[in-house]
Amino acid sequence: MEIIIESGKIEEKITELLSLGLFEGEKEPTGIIRYIDTLLDGAISDTIKNGDFTGELNQTLLLYTHNKIKSRRLLLVGLGKREDFNLETVRSASGKAALQVRNMSLSSYMTLLYGEDFGLPIETLTQALIEGAELALYSFNRFKTEKEKMPKEVKELTIFVQKNDNIALVQKGLTVAKIVCNATKLARDLSNSPSNDVTPQALAEVAKSIAERYSLECKVLERSDMEKLGMGGILAVSSGSQQPPKLIIMKYKGGKESSPIVLVGKAVTFDSGGISIKPSEKMEEMKYDKSGGAAVIATMQAIAELRLPLNVIGIIPATENLPSGSAYKPGDVLRHYGGKTSEVISTDAEGRLILADAIAYSTNYKPQAIIDIATLTGACVVALGTHASGMITNDQNLGKKVIDAAELSGEKVWQLPLWKEYSEQIKSEIADVKNVGGRAGGAITAAAFLSKFVGNCPWVHLDITGTAYTQEGSIEKTYIPKGATGVGVRLLIQLLRNWS
């Protein structure tokens, strides 16, 4: 969608539809909306007086303007109560407006910058407005051949800015928003893609082409490299598949010689469970098991575009997890990169096995932080539901940074503890650790397993099993269509933008 910024006289603006946001429970519109209401002989305030429009969040009402202003239609959008207004309100209401516009088959519309005079920073307000619209209008059509059954494209959005002083800030917000939205959509595309299309090889090719386009460094370790390096986890998990595993390494150098931040993303392009095979019901959802890796690839693209003054390395272990005569088996003992051993209790707890190699490898860079992101455990969904990702850390300072970024991005996280008791559950009789610690506290024992491979680096683990794609328990959000959400991308970008 093309996004244009305009200012001037609102009544002179020619557009199919002008969207404006109103707070809940306020009898009279104020500011520019009051001005528009006057030009329309009270058409807006009438809807409020008569109870047709209350301003409840995401409520909408369409009005025709009968040439009293040059915009043909008005779309009133509820912003909820003034005291609850925040960036998430803006994403939500803006997403709702965009969906209404698309349902009406309009190809362009104009919007006021909701809450322009509310007092939130204009740059972030603009970013939220655009995120809401762009991400709501996302749809995954690559495998649809009947054009008429696809949603119509909204081609153009014009943001009307009241105060001329705000234009430069809106422009800044727009630049960031485009980069953030493109990255989120890339992550959604990769995650939504079926496993016969996006294989580990295909992911590596995407990473390479991004690296070329945005001048990142990209290196892909092949099975033979992994054998030399002793990456027993990823080698074992991939051994049942015909698809060769890849360890994708993307490097962005935007900072001085300072030590890097490493992002590690789980990319199991299909998780059947392996020999510990999953039930067939909903097994198709296991294409989403590459969502962490997709988020890291997309984040690398965004930070390169944003030219952040940091050094960031993305590491994506990519493999399938399938059963076969050559597959790894329960009871097997694996030797990970760096030498630690693990006993396989379940071949379905494969994520932690490939992350162990990737995380241990990442400590070679002496990073200031390691952040891993993975659809790691169903237990995390049991603990937190689908509304927040699980966060576990060995460094409360770093954890605080992630919590702050979550607040700003609207991608909620909730911290779970990493007390040493949990490590007791993963003690093995014959190896250093075992890959399952029983049913109790499954999200935490998975993290406890990973913690054995981080050395003394500050580290945060994000379990996105409940948030990576819409599933049972997900509540509909206007800007999150069914399927992959791209979760983590906006959170990680925000975290890295805040870093310096």
Catalytic annotation, residues: 278, 352
Query: Of these partners, ligand BES, Zn ion, none, which one is at the site of residue 436 (CB under 5 to 8 Å by kind)?
Result: ligand BES
Q: Which is nearer to Zn ion, 351 or 410 (CB)?
A: 351
Residue 67 carries which side chain, given as an amino acid letter? N
Task: Single out the residue of 493, 461, 484 nearest to residue 289, CA to CA.
Answer: 484
378 binds, among Zn ion, ligand BES, none (CB under 5 to 8 A by kind): ligand BES
- Run of H or E including 368: none
241 binds ligand BES (CB under 6 A): no
In the numeric block, the tokens 């050559």 are attached to: 326
Site for Zn ion (CB under 5 A): which residue of 88, 131, 189, 289? 289
Can residue 271 be called a binding residue for ligand BES (CB under 6 A)? yes
**By the 8 A CB rule, do 359 and 454 touch?**
yes
Q: How many residues interact with ligand BES (rule CB under 6 A)?
A: 16
Among 363, 377, 394, 485, binds ligand BES (CB under 6 A): 377
What values do phi and psi take at 461, rounded to 5? -110, 130
CA gap 253, 312 in Å, rounded: 7
Of 116, 289, 305, 357, which lies in the binding site for ligand BES, with binding defined by CB under 6 A? 289
- Partner that binds at residue 411, options Zn ion, ligand BES, none, CB closer than 5 to 8 Å by kind: none
- Report in angstroms how near the CB of residue 6 gets to ligand BES at its nearest: 44
Residue 305 binds Zn ion, judged by CB under 5 A:
no
Q: In what order do the strands lie in the sheet with 60-64?
A: 2-6, 156-160, 108-112, 18-22, 73-78, 60-64
Judge contact between 315 and 358, C-beta under 8 A: yes
332 binds ligand BES (CB under 6 A): no
Residue 142 · residue 189 · CB < 8 Å = yes
CA atoms within 13 A on the CB side of 36: 32
Binder of ligand BES out of 89, 465, 467, 478 (CB under 6 A): 465
Q: What's the closest the beta carbon of residue 171 comes to ligand BES, in angstroms?
A: 40
Token digits for 108?
């362009």
> Residue 104 Cβ, how far from ligand BES at the closest point, in Å?
36
What is the x/- site pattern for ligand BES, positions 389-428, by CB under 6 A?
Answer: ----------------------------------------
Q: Does 442 bind ligand BES (CB under 6 A)?
A: yes
Cα angle 202, 208, 212 (rounded to 5 degrees) comes to: 145
- Dihedral, 98, 102, 105, 111 alpha carbons, nearest 10: 10
Whole-angstrom Cα distance, residue 124 to residue 220? 36
* Cβ pair 97, 60 in contact under 8 A: yes
Q: Is 375 in the site for ligand BES (CB under 6 A)?
A: yes
Choosing among ligand BES, Zn ion, none, which partner's interface includes residue 377 (Cβ < 5 to 8 Å by kind)? ligand BES
Of ligand BES, Zn ion, none, which one does residue 74 interact with (CB within 5 to 8 Å by kind)? Answer: none
What is the separation, in whole angstroms, between the first and last Cα of the chain? 31
Helix (H, G, I), strand (E, B) or coil at 181: helix
Q: How far is the CB of 350 from Zn ion (least distance, A)?
A: 5
Which of 25, 31, 309, 378 forms a contact with ligand BES (CB under 6 A)? 378
Q: Which residues contact Zn ion by CB under 5 A? A: 268, 271, 289, 348, 350-351
Q: Which residues contact ligand BES by CB under 6 A? A: 271, 285, 289, 346, 348-351, 375-379, 436, 442, 465
